[in-house]
């Protein structure tokens, strides 16, 4: 029976690159999406054309309190061999101090922290059967906050601690690691001046690619003695500080 990987937020951008890499590594893929139904379906069809019956889609709004339990139950009842969980789904938008909205705070913390933690907890029985691996997508701004994005930065800092806690709690049957991207893909709305400020702060002086993240995740999945690690993929930016956006 084929081994499966669940990737949340998998239809676009970094999630798409992760799915493509893991599929080429031989995994069957559960493509989770929130609102990107068309992109998820297109990706599923593409993967199934490459290898029949190797991809499925599943929808869940991870900002909803009950969504994780339903998602986990659907997978637990599907009789698949799940060995990889990549918690990639994330919300990102500014919440300047003085304009904090409770609904926004709840949405950011639920999507970025509680959902990945609870999904790991609820799928642990299935993952442990196959000595599974969990990868949480973090952010370099979980170490030093991004201006005007306090709640987002807080959510990623908390997910980093959750990653370390899960690595301890789920050992020895499940490994847990975190990947903290720097400037990989520009936000969908990003000013050229702010882009240049970021590039000026990166020792390697270039934007990273989604494939850089996907290749690291592939390596972490295949490395049986690595657990409880947070690895920055930021072109050396964390070595010199976080000037720029």
Q: Can you list the domains of the chain with their CATH numbers?
A: 3-240 (3.40.50.720)
For residue 65, the 8-state DSSP code is T
Tens of pLDDT, residues 13-41 = 999 999 999 999 999 999 999 999 999 99
Q: Which of 27, 152, 225, 242 is catalytic?
A: 152
pLDDT band, residue 190 (cuts 50/70/90) = low
- The pLDDT assigned to 189 comes to 60
**pLDDT (average), residues 46-69:** 97
For residue 149, the 8-state DSSP code is -
The residue whose two tokens read 């970021």 is 198
For residue 176, the 8-state DSSP code is E
- The pLDDT assigned to 197 comes to 80
Beta bridge partners of 5: 29, 84
Query: Two tokens at 121?
Result: 């907890």
Query: Two tokens at 83?
Result: 């060995």
Query: Two tokens at 8?
Result: 């949340």
Tens of pLDDT, residues 100-122 = 899 999 999 999 999 999 999 99
pLDDT at 172 over 90: yes
Beta strands in the chain (DSSP E): 3-7, 28-33, 55-59, 81-87, 133-137, 175-181, 230-233
For residue 205, the 8-state DSSP code is -
At 30 the three-state DSSP class reads strand
Active site residue 152: yes
Beta strands in 69-144 (DSSP E): 81-87, 133-137
Helix, strand counts (H, E) of the chain: 10, 7
């Amino acid at each position: 029976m084929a081994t499966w990987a669940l990737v949340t937020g998998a239809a676009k951008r970094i999630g798409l690159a992760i799915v493509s890499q893991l599929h080429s590594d031989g995994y069957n893929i559960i493509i989770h999406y929130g609102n990107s139904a068309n992109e998820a379906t297109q990706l599923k069809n593409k993967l199934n054309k490459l290898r029949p019956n190797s991809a499925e889609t599943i929808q869940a709004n991870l900002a909803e309190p009950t969504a994780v339990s339903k998602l986990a139950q659907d997978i637990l009842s599907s009789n698949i061999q799940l060995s990889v969980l990549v918690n990639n789904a994330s919300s990102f938008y500014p919440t300047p101090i003085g304009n904090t909205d409770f609904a926004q705070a709840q949405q950011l913390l639920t999507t970025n922290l509680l959902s990945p933690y609870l999904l790991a907890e609820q799928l642990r029985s299935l993952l442990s059967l196959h000595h599974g691996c969990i990868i949480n997508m973090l952010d370099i701004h979980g170490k030093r906050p991004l201006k005007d994005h306090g709640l987002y930065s807080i959510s990623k800092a908390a997910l980093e601690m959750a990653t370390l806690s899960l690595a301890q709690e789920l050992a020895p049957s499940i490994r847990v690691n975190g990947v903290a991207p720097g400037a990989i893909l520009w936000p969908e709305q990003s000013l050229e001046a702010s882009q240049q400020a970021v590039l000026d702060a990166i020792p390697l002086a270039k934007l990273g690619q989604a494939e850089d993240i996907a290749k690291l995740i592939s390596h972490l999945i295949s490395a049986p003695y690595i657990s409880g690690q947070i690895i920055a993929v930021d072109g050396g930016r964390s070595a010199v500080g976080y000037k720029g956006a």
